[in-house]
A and B are shown apart, each in its own frame.
Chain A
Amino acid sequence: AAMRSRAEVDATLQTAKLNPAELLPAVQCLSFGPQAGGGECCLLQLEPGLCAELEAGRSLVIRGEKDEHAVLCSKDKTYDMKIADTSNMLLFVPGCKTPEELNADGASCNIIYSQIAGFSKNYWELRRCRPKLKKLRKLLMEDPYEGPDSRKDQTSTFSKYTTEDLLSLIQASEEEILHQLEVIDACKIEGYWRILDFDYEMKLLNHVTQLIDSESWPFSKVPLRVCLEELGSLEPREMIEHILLSYGRKYVDDGEIFFEMREDKICRAIAQMLLQNAVKFNLSEFEEVWQQSVPEGMTTRLDQLQGLALVDKSSRPETIFLLKVEDLPEDNQERFNSLFGIRQKWTEVDITPYIQDLCGEKQTVGALLTKYARSSMLNGVKVYNSRRPIS
């Protein structure tokens, strides 16, 4: 289309009965650019902080495979994406000037030609969400590391995952992924992230606790150097250090590295080792065996098993069974369905460890219970059950 001339613009103003004296001298003639209808551009509404991140040169990434709802990840946060429809037309115009910019612009030209780069009737809205990290554990559990003696690794056909692989497969920000790798005690072996096979992990832990016992070290001061010297012939040094990092808190004293062993975590791991061998246990028998199985000097307590095991107080005798929160569904509704399938009525104390991880920025345990459960009184105690009829 031919470019409009100033004379044509003025003629239009006259026909429109607009007084040029009341207008700024410059006019912007808007036309649709050659790519305008292509639909290759889309709009993304930015949550606070994201604009600044982009301007600082940082990236945003959209993650999700075809069967997943897409999420947007900044360096450290994850957002659900949702299309918002407006009934209006949104045109995006590069180089379109605001009144302030026209006034500030000293140029004397009174006609500017601006092309509309694209248009849309909708845009993507963002809502901060929990990172979808369950898949991370699932991927790493495809091929747990069983130690250097395991012949499995050489012949293994399973995928092993580097950091880059995980970034492209997991719907979470990089920081959230790296933090979760720490939480699940993953370690890097030959450039790949691995989770230890539980039996191998217990074998390593046992080496360390036996050494602590034979050396009569206090649990709060376990020297790294001596561990590596004494155990280095039994297991790879990296694995010894890894188990100390997983089950202890590292610190430096007088130039030497020590670990303060985490009693609760050790007791919890040993409980898991005992519980995984049967469907359920007589509670008092279990408590006895458990206390005898932990390193001497450590004390077992049932509250160490939150999110790992559940006590059935209604059975005679009372029993305990393994129930790991990480084995439960990630989606809120599915999680609650699963929990109510296991037990019809829950007290808040019992259910909290199994829904704590669902709490986001704005949702508390109380809010979740209000939304997904119905409360009633049972023997003077408040209990929660499903909102849906149990089929």
Chain B
Amino acid sequence: SGGTGALAQWVLVELQGEVEPRQSGDLAGNLLGDLHYTREGVPVLIVGHHILYGKVVQLEKPFAVLVKQGGAPQPSPAGPHGRYAVTALIKTKLLFKTRPKPIITHVPKK
């Protein structure tokens, strides 16, 4: 259901492929990277040893972010049965589609 206050506006960041943690274990708490914008408004994301260039896209069809309410998590792949609350709306996404440019680090000589 919709909230009583104004709904939060979040942003979607779309990346190609998978994001894997550097160390084993899940992603929670880990850094993804630094997000910059050029003065022209082009988003630049530095992830590990890669530079990703993207663009800001206003979504034709916004998304709602649904959060499952209460109860044990249901395994249902078939359907989203259960109670959900809309936690936020997403009208903008940062789309990173260009192939990442690797950062060549200079290995210092001993």
Contact = CB atoms under 8 A, between A and B. Distances in A.
B35 A70 contact: no
B12 A44 contact: no
A47 interface: yes
Contacts of B56: 98-99
Contact of A40 (B4, B68, B103): B68
Contacts of B44: 18, 23
Chain B, interface SS category: strand
A69 B76 CA distance: 11
Interface in A17-47: 17-18, 22-24, 27-37, 39-47
Interface of A is mostly: mixed
Contacts of A58: 2
A347 B60 CA distance: 43
Contact of A54 (B12, B80, B86): B86
Contact of A23 (B15, B31, B36, B45): B36
B35 A23 contact: no
A44 B63 contact: yes
Counting chain B CB atoms within 10 Å of each CB, the highest count among A47, A55, A69, A97 belongs to A55
Contact of B51 (A18, A81, A86): A18
B31 A31 contact: yes
Contact of A99 (B41, B45, B61): B41
Given A62-B80, A93-B10, A94-B10, A40 B67 contact: yes
Interface of A: 1, 4, 9, 12-13, 15-18, 22-24, 27-37, 39-48, 50-51, 53-62, 64-66, 68-70, 81, 86-100, 102, 114, 116-119, 123-124
